[in-house]
Amino acid sequence: MNLKQLLEFAINKENFMSIDDYLGFALSYLEFIKTNLQAVIVSQNENHYRFFQYKEEGTFNVTRPINSRLMLGFEDFEQCKNHFQYLLKNIKNDRLKTTENRTLLNSLVYTAQQSIGATLDALPAKKSNTARKINGDLFERFIRLIISDIGIEVREAHRSIPVKVNDEVLFKMNYQHDL
């Protein structure tokens, strides 16, 4: 995929309905950045943070900071994604509770989510709020899918909270609890 195709895919939330959708997108993004960046900028103060700069097709935009200690490359991600899914299915198995597996879970979730966020960073500056909203919504959905996949029921709740002043209810404020 090129950057335009990645962006078109990422802005359509319906493209992310399963864990496989997130993992597949991350692989496409990781393959893209192997050879299609203008530059990788290393943070001066914290050198494990990188910023990806897109070429002209991404209007030379620079991404959010990417933690290189967590962000996997294409080959590592491809190699680990099946084990990630195995771990989710067997999360209650005590023998799988290792530092290595915890690191793998964290890195795969981080890489999958940052792939979406970094792609959305290629949107024009006037769409930065839209990018943040999409990214946040997709992160919530990803976590919900993961929690559900490990066997925990996930449901939303809506509450109407009364707002009182001097013991008088002035109005009710709606509150949505996503997880």
**Integer Cα distance of 53 and 38 in angstroms:** 5
Amino acid letter, 40: V
- Using H for helix, E for strand and C for coil, what is the string for 108-121? HHHHHHHHHHHHHC
pLDDT mean over 138-146: 94
pLDDT mean over 79-105: 94
**Integer Cα distance of 115 and 150 in angstroms:** 23
pLDDT band at 157, cuts 50/70/90?
A: confident
Amino acid letter, 73: G
Q: Confirm if 88 and 119 have CB atoms less than 8 A apart.
A: no
List Cβ neighbours of 141 (8 Å cut-off, separation of 6 or more). 13, 16
- 52-68, pLDDT tens digit by residue? 999 999 999 999 999 99
Where is pLDDT greater, at 24 or 155? 24
